Structure 1
Amino acid sequence: MSWRMPAETAPQERTWMAFPRPGNTLGDDPASAEAARTAWATTANTISEHQPVTVVVDPVARADADRLLSGAVEVLEAPLDDFWMRDIGPTFVVDDETGEVGAVDWVFNGWGANAWSTWTRDAEIAATVARAAGVRRLPSLLVNEGGAIHVDGTGRVLVTETVQLDPRRNPYADHARVEEELARTIGATDVIWLPRGLTRDYDGLGTRGHVDMVATFTEPGVVLLHAQPDPSHPDHLVMPQIRRALEQATDATIVEVPAPATLTDDGGPVDWNYVNHVVVNGAVIACGFGEAAADDRARGILADVYPGREVHTLDARAVFARGGGLHCITQQQPAGNLRQPAGNLRQPTTDLQHPAP
C-alpha cells in the first residue's frame, strides 16, 4: 500500500471530535466549564450542518453531551482523559490506487509526558476511532499529534523542530528518522521544518510548538501564516523567524493573517490566531475572539483563500484558554472507498480493546 494524507480541502466523509469531560483541562469553575462544553458543542453542531460529525464522549460526560449536542451529531461512548481529537485521534490517509482509507495511530504521550497530563485512555482513542470508522489501523512508533503536522495533499508537510524532535516525545529521533516515518505513514515527500511555535504554546497547557497555531496550506503552493504586528507581544519576534524558514524551504505564496488586538490574559501573552481554523465540505469554521474588526478581517481573508466556501466564525476563547483552537478539537476523515460506514453510533460502545495492527 502507498498511503497519502489528503489536504484538508479534499472531500470529507465526516469530522471526529471528543467532548469535554471533568478534569484538569476543563477546570473546576462551573461557569467556565460550561463555556467550554458550549464551545465544543457549537463547533460540532455547526459542522454537522455541512457533513456528518461523530463525537467521542466519556460516560461521565454523557448527560452534558446529550444536552448540548444536536440530534444530527452522532455519539460514540468511550473513556477519555482529555478531549483534543486532533491530537489523540488518528490521522486519516488514503491509498490512491484502491481508494481505501487508513488511520495512522501515532504514539500519544500527553504532549511529551507533561506533569499535568494523563493519557492512558487517550492513547487508545485512535484505535477506537479507526474501528468505528471501519478503516485499517496503521500503527506508528513515532510520538506525534495531528496538530503537529499540516499537509498540502501532494506530499509537502509542515512540522516544527520542537515537537517531533522533542526529547520528551522522541528522544532518539533525528530529522532523517522523522522524515522516513512521515513518508511511510502519510506519504510525505517534502518535510518543511519550522523552528518553533507561538510563545504561549510553551507555557501551562501548551503543546510546545504545534504547527497548526502558526501556519497551514490552503492549497498547494499557498501558505496561510499567522502575523503578530504589535511589537509588545513576544510573537512579534517569533513570526519573522518562522517566515524566514518557510521562505528558505519553499517558494510558496505566503498570505499573512494578523492577530486580534488582545495581547494578554490572566495566563500571559495570548496565542489567539486565525490560522487555527477548520475546513469542511463547503465551509470554513473560523475562530472568533469577540473583536468585530479583527474577526471580520480574518473572515474576509479566509473567504478569499477558500473561494466558494461559507465562513462561520465561532467564539473560540474558551477553547484557547485550555491550550488550543477549533482545529485542535476536530479531525477530518477523508472520503474514500470505506470498508464499512461509521453508521449510527448514538448508542454506547463497550468493546474498546486495542485491535491488532
Structure 2
Amino acid sequence: MSWRMPAEGEPQVRTWMAFPSAGYSLGDTAEEHHEARSTWAAVAHAISEFEPVTVVVDPDEVTYAKKYLSAGIETVEAPLNDAWMRDIGPTFVLDENGKLGAVDWVFNGWGAQEWARWDRDAKIGKLIAELAGAELISSPVVNEGGGIQVDGQGTVLVTETVQLDPGRNPTLTKADVEAELARTIGATDAVWLPYGLHRDEDEFGTRGHVDIVAGFVAPGVVIVHDQQHPGHPDFVRSKAFTDLLGERFEVVKVPAPKTIRDDEGYVDYSYINHLVVNDGVIACSYDDPNDPVAAGILADAYPGRKVVTVDARPLFARGGGIHCITQHQPK
C-alpha cells in the first residue's frame, strides 16, 4: 500500500483543533487566559463558516470551552499539555483508493524543550486517528506537522534544524528522514531548507518549522516569507529561502508585516502560516499596514477562495500561528 499526503487545497472533511489548557499557551493571568481562549475560538469560528471543526478539550477546560465556543463546534474530551494541533495531531494521508490513513509521529515537545511537557500530547495523534476512522501509521521519527509542507504530488519542504535536530532525531541522516517521509506521506522529493526564522530558534520556538517560511499554493508554485527590513535578522534568511526555492519553483513572495519587534525582540510574524479550507483561507493579521497586502496576495494565490483574517498576535506571542493550531483532514 502506498500513502499520499494531499495538498492542503484538496477537499477536506473537517479541521481538528485543541483548546488551550493550563500551561505556557494559556498563560498565568486571567487576562492571558481570556486572550488565549478568545483567539483559539476565533480561529475555530472562522473555519466553521467553511467546514466542520472538532476541538479536543482537556477535562479541566470543558466549562471554559462551552463558554468560548459556539454550539456548532464539536468538542471531544481528552487530557492535553498544550494546544498546537498541527504538531500533536496526526498527519492525514490517503491511499490509492482514497482510504484515510493517519501518520502518528513521535512527539517530544519540539526536541525535548526544557519548558515543554508532552506526556498527554504524545497520545493525541493516535486518539484522533481512531476518532477519524483512519488507519494508524506509526512512525519512529520525531516530527511535527508544522515541519512539513507538501504539494500533494510527492514534493515536501523540510528544514535541517527540525528533522535533523539532535533533540529530535540525533542518529538520523537526510537519507533516513527521506526514506521515512516516502513511506509515510509519499514524499519522493524532499527539498531541504537550512533553517527557519530567527525568532523560532528562541527558547519557546520550534527550532525552524517550515510552515512559517514557505508552502505550496500549487504544484511548482511556492509562497515564501519575505522580510523586507534590512535590520531584521530574517532579511538575509528570506533572501536565502527565495534564492534556494527559486531554483526549483515559481516563487510568490509575501512581504512580512512592517512590525519588526515586540517586547521580546525581533518578531517572526508571518502570513505564510495560514490555513487553506474548503472554499476559504484563514489568514493571520497583525493590525499592520501589510495585512491587506498579504490578504490580496493570498486571494490571488488561491483563486475562488474567500480570505478571512484573524488577529494572530496572541498566537505568535505564544510560539506559533493559525496553521500551527489546526490540522486538516482530507476527504
CA distance, structure 1, for counterparts of residue 134 and residue 115 of structure 2 = 32
**Which residue pairs with 2:29 in the alignment?**
29
Please give the per-residue CA displacement for 1:104-145, whole angstroms capped at 9, x wherever unaligned: 000000000000000010000000101111111100000000
* 2:321 maps to 1:314: no
Please give the per-residue CA displacement for 1:25-54, whole angstroms capped at 9, x wherever unaligned: 321122122111111001111111111110
**Which residue pairs with 2:287 in the alignment?**
290
Matches within 5 A, 1:190-205: 190-205=189-204
CA distance, structure 1, for counterparts of residue 37 and residue 282 of structure 2 = 17
Pick one of 243, 259, 266 that aligns with 1:262.
Answer: 259
Give the drift of 1:60.
0.8
Tell me, what secondary structure is at the counterpart of 1:55? strand
Give the drift of 1:147.
0.1
Tell me, what secondary structure is at the counterpart of 1:42? helix
Tell me, what secondary structure is at the counterpart of 1:23? coil
Tell me, what secondary structure is at the counterpart of 1:8? coil
The gaps in structure 2 that reach 5 residues or longer are none
**Which residue pairs with 1:333 in the alignment?**
329
Once superposed, which parts of structure 1, at least 4 consecutive aligned residues long, lie more than 6 Å away?
A: none
**Which residue pairs with 1:170 in the alignment?**
169
**Which residue pairs with 2:69 in the alignment?**
69
CA distance, structure 2, for counterparts of residue 315 and residue 150 of structure 1 = 23
Contact 2:25 2:36 in 1 (8 A): no
CA distance, structure 2, for counterparts of residue 272 and residue 119 of structure 1 = 25
CA distance, structure 1, for counterparts of residue 132 and residue 71 of structure 2 = 19
CA distance, structure 1, for counterparts of residue 310 and residue 114 of structure 2 = 31
CA distance, structure 1, for counterparts of residue 273 and residue 241 of structure 2 = 16
**Which residue pairs with 1:344 in the alignment?**
none
* 2:323 maps to 1:324: no
* 2:278 maps to 1:281: yes
Tell me, what secondary structure is at the counterpart of 1:224? strand
Give the drift of 1:230.
0.5
Tell me, what secondary structure is at the counterpart of 1:64? helix
Matches within 5 A, 1:131-210: 131-210=130-209
Please give the per-residue CA displacement for 1:252-275, whole angstroms capped at 9, x wherever unaligned: 110000011111111110000100
Matches within 5 A, 1:46-57: 46-57=46-57
Tell me, what secondary structure is at the counterpart of 2:329? strand
TM-score by length of 1: 0.92
CA distance, structure 2, for counterparts of residue 24 and residue 310 of structure 1 = 32
CA distance, structure 2, for counterparts of residue 205 and residue 25 of structure 1 = 10
Contact 2:24 2:318 in 1 (8 A): no
State the Cα RMSD in Å.
0.8
**Which residue pairs with 1:112 in the alignment?**
111
Contact 1:161 1:195 in 2 (8 A): yes
Matches within 5 A, 1:80-95: 80-95=80-95
- Number of corresponding residues: 331
Please give the per-residue CA displacement for 1:72-98, whole angstroms capped at 9, x wherever unaligned: 1100100001110000000000012x2
**Which residue pairs with 2:250 in the alignment?**
253
* 2:220 maps to 1:224: no
Give the drift of 1:59.
0.6
Give the drift of 1:204.
2.4
CA distance, structure 1, for counterparts of residue 243 and residue 159 of structure 2 = 14
Paired AA for residue 275 in structure 2: V
Please give the per-residue CA displacement for 1:119-178, whole angstroms capped at 9, x wherever unaligned: 010000000101111111100000000000000000000000000000110011001000
Tell me, what secondary structure is at the counterpart of 2:223? strand
Give the drift of 1:244.
2.3
> Identity of counterpart residues, as a percentage?
59
CA distance, structure 1, for counterparts of residue 223 and residue 298 of structure 2 = 9
CA distance, structure 1, for counterparts of residue 186 and residue 152 of structure 2 = 9
Give the drift of 1:306.
0.2
Please give the per-residue CA displacement for 1:182-240, whole angstroms capped at 9, x wherever unaligned: 00000001100001000000102100000001000001011000001101111011111
CA distance, structure 2, for counterparts of residue 313 and residue 178 of structure 1 = 35
The gaps in structure 1 that reach 5 residues or longer are 336-357
Give the drift of 1:283.
0.2
Tell me, what secondary structure is at the counterpart of 2:290? helix
Contact 2:215 2:223 in 1 (8 A): yes
Give the drift of 1:247.
2.9
